Amino acid sequence: MKVTIVPVRGLDCTGSGSTAGDVAGVDWVTRNARKPAVANMSLGGGASAALDTAVTNSIAAGISYSVSAGGSAANACNYSPARVAPALTAGATTITDARASQSNYGTCLDIFAPGQSITSAWIGGPTATATLSGTSMSAAFVTGAAALYLHRYPSATPAQVAAALTGNCTKGVITGAGTGSPNCLLYIGFIPPDPIATPTG
């Protein structure tokens, strides 16, 4: 599987910014994405109709979105873009499949994914890493799963991608998922692997 990762900057170097900057970034993705495409939004803030609309319109244009539920141990429906219905909103779990204590929860979540002590690439050099926790990590896992699904099914719509991931998640294993949350842990084993080339002649 080969993907092209395109960074889109909506925040400054400290991770701060404005809703207008976020909206501009989403609108850029809507105009420029080469489909099939999935966008990761490991960010969030208070409820914003403008940001919700931008993400909703981008999904309607055929781009899947994985967004963070947020890390306030509160109802995700009070945050944007976590509350965007057609987006895949990801909550965080620990290594023991419990909801991470800081993870938001509620009916606006679609799925949970690992979000505790996740080591990944980082700024500073080609081999730099950092170990972080939060729903931003969880959303990145869901983004990767969506990309893998689109690799196998490139004509799938965002709704079909979301239905596939939530319909095939591991159910009932998360402890303390939170009021209204789906007990649904990301699973990718249902996605068929690439066929193995068979030598001929």
Distance CA(88)–CA(96), nearest Å, equals 23
Domains and CATH numbers, the chain: 22-185 (3.40.50.200)
pTM, to two decimals: 0.94
Are the C-beta atoms of 121 and 128 separated by less than 8 Å? yes
Distance CA 76, CA 199 (A): 51
**Closest-CA residue to 105 (of 117, 90, 125):** 90
Q: Count the neighbouring beta carbons within 10 Å of the beta carbon of residue 106.
A: 22
Per DSSP bridges, beta strands 64-68 and 88-93 are parallel
User: What is residue 188's predicted lDDT score, i.e. its pLDDT?
Assistant: 98
DSSP letter for each residue of 148-186: HHHHH-TT--HHHHHHHHHHTSEES--BT--TT---EE-
3-state secondary structure of 18: coil
The pLDDT score that the predictor gives to residue 201 is 64
Residue ranges, the chain, pLDDT below 70: 201
**pLDDT at res. 27:** 98
